[in-house]
Amino acid sequence: MYDIYCKTGIKVSFPIIADRNGQIARKYGMISNDISNTETVRNVFIIDDKGIIRTILIYPLNIGRFIPEIIRIVKALQMADCANGSTAANWMPNQPVIVPPPQTFEALQTRNTEIEKNRNGITWYLSFKEPPEKCIQE
């Protein structure tokens, strides 16, 4: 952590663990035995504030992680939670989110009327809304 700070000026505010014998890496499937018995593949675990693993990315041993995508995933998770919706394929920060599908036939009919009026969707199960102001990320 100190080296990261010295090289970048960034203070890491989350725990980093040492796994000298590889016990944790094996437990989480980070050792690819067909490639190496000791080297880990490049895993990224995104864990929320409740301790729930929300995303696991696994990169081959010889491929670096793509930090802009990792940041986009974190922002998408935050937006989906805040806006009570989902993010679409290729979603980028502050774009509209997908509205959860209606749970009743009456709500479905209302949704179709809203889509016709606002042009904010394709069909009752795929419509969009602008994220609430409180969810807008900088």
Q: What is the pLDDT of residue 19?
A: 83
- Give, for all 138 residues of the chain, the pLDDT tens digit: 899 899 999 998 888 888 888 888 888 878 776 666 666 678 899 999 898 999 999 888 788 889 999 999 999 999 999 999 999 999 999 899 999 999 999 999 999 999 999 999 999 999 999 999 999 877
Q: What is the pLDDT of residue 28?
A: 82
Q: Tell me how crowded residue 81 is: count the other CB atoms within 10 A of its CB.
A: 12
SS3 state at 59: strand
CATH topology of domain 66-138: Antioxidant, Horf6; Chain A, domain 2 (3.30.1020)
Domain 1-65: give its CATH code: 3.40.30.10
Task: Tell me where in the chain the CATH 3.40.30.10 domain(s) lie.
Answer: 1-65
Q: What is the pLDDT of residue 69?
A: 95
Q: Which of 77, 84, 68, 90 is nearest to 137 (CA)?
A: 77
Could you tell me if 51 and 14 are in contact, meaning their C-beta atoms sit under 8 angstroms apart?
no
Task: Tell me where in the chain the CATH 3.30.1020.10 domain(s) lie.
Answer: 66-138
| Rounded CA separation 74/30 (Å) | 21
Q: What is the pLDDT of residue 23?
A: 84
DSSP calls for 4-51: HHHHH-PPP-S-----TTSHHHHHTT-B-TTT-SSPBPEEEEEE-TTS
Q: What is the pLDDT of residue 38?
A: 66
pTM: 0.76
